[in-house]
């Protein structure tokens, strides 16, 4: 036997990739169990996404068949619709003011609730409760609090001798009022911040105390750098949620976006175009413009994270 014949004889046999009966049975059972989820994903997620992308290039009113219109919907939005730009300005105003205030409030309360005091669990529960109230119920409650005639807030202003404000009827105050309402439900971000604060190593605080650092210095130089991943996480989620702000504005303005379109946010205009005017193609184009803008902004935030987000264990 030659060397080549000996090597060929000793070469391991090629494995067969044919599935055994037991493996085929397990695979079939697994697909059977996940099929409801797969069907739901395709019917309620993938199909609407693909359909809305197609409809964004059509004129479609649900009743008649969609007619292809190319980029006409996008062109009308960007050049011929003043309400579109009004909604964009209102939404950007809300995002730029509400999100930083929301994060700062949640972080400040989390810092207070992180102190070692008796009965702190009760306070944590009380601060978290507003975040589990449904948005519609919360909006109805705030509609009573901000009522210009018999609302609780204006009654307090009268008691102090301060002129009352038409919180929901004055265009100058309507958006600040909605921002105030949004600050009320910071519980979810507060809990995330609180978990991050409790995960900061105590050795870092002890080292800072040895260097003579006070409370403010420890917070600025130790606490905030160590929780930057959590700040980043809450920032991204808060920004995405703020761009989709809808329920409270819809309930308080009864879907009109008033007064004087001051609460006409992007999602509210999108909803009205779709379900009040049945301009499905137009509203689909709005949805894809919003997706593109939020995606771009989120990408920029992720790119900037390397400059200010610190992950423990990274090389200096």
The mean pLDDT of 31-47, rounded to a whole number, is 91
pLDDT confidence of 53, banded at 50, 70, 90?
Answer: very high
Check residue 275 and give its pLDDT. 94
Check residue 316 and give its pLDDT. 46
pLDDT confidence of 25, banded at 50, 70, 90?
Answer: confident
Tens digits of residue pLDDT in 78-96: 999 999 999 999 999 999 9
Check residue 212 and give its pLDDT. 87
Tens digits of residue pLDDT in 226-243: 999 999 999 999 999 999
The mean pLDDT of 47-59, rounded to a whole number, is 96
Check residue 10 and give its pLDDT. 57
The mean pLDDT of 50-66, rounded to a whole number, is 94
Check residue 104 and give its pLDDT. 96
The mean pLDDT of 273-286, rounded to a whole number, is 95
Mean pLDDT of the chain, nearest integer: 90
Check residue 24 and give its pLDDT. 84
Collapsed DSSP state (helix, strand, coil) of residue 279: coil
More confident residue, 7 or 195: 195
Check residue 311 and give its pLDDT. 85
Check residue 8 and give its pLDDT. 53
Residue 191 has pLDDT above 90, yes or no: yes
pLDDT confidence of 312, banded at 50, 70, 90?
Answer: confident
More confident residue, 67 or 311: 67
């Amino acid at each position: 036997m030659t060397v080549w014949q000996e090597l060929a004889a000793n070469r391991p046999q090629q494995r067969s990739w044919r599935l055994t009966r037991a493996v085929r049975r397990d695979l079939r059972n697994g697909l059977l169990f996940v099929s409801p989820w797969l069907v739901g994903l395709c019917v309620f997620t993938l199909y609407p996404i693909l359909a809305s992308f197609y409809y964004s290039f059509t004129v479609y009113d649900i009743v008649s068949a969609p007619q292809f219109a190319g980029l006409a919907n996008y062109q009308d939005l960007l050049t011929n619709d003043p309400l579109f730009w009004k909604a964009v300005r209102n939404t950007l105003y809300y995002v730029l003011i509400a999100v930083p205030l929301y994060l700062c409030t949640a972080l400040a309360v989390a810092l207070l609730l992180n102190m070692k005091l008796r009965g702190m669990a009760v306070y944590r529960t009380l601060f978290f409760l507003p975040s589990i109230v449904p948005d519609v119920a919360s909006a109805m409650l705030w509609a009573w609090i901000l009522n210009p005639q018999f609302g609780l807030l204006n009654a307090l202003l009268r008691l102090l001798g301060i002129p009352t404000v038409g919180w929901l009827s004055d265009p100058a105050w309507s958006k600040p009022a909605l921002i105030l309402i949004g600050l009320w439900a910071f519980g979810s971000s507060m809990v995330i911040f609180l978990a991050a604060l409790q995960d900061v190593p105590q050795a870092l605080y002890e080292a800072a105390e040895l260097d003579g650092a006070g409370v403010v210095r420890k917070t600025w130089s130790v606490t905030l750098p160590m929780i930057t991943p959590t700040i980043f996480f809450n920032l991204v989620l808060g920004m995405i949620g703020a761009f989709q702000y809808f329920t409270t504005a819809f309930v308080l303005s009864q879907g009109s976006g008033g007064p004087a379109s001051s609460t006409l946010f992007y999602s509210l205009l999108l909803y009205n175009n779709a379900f009040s005017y049945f301009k499905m193609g137009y509203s689909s184009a709005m949805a894809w413009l919003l997706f593109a803008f939020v995606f771009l902004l989120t990408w920029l935030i992720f790119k900037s994270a390397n400059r200010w987000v610190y992950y423990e264990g990274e090389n200096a």
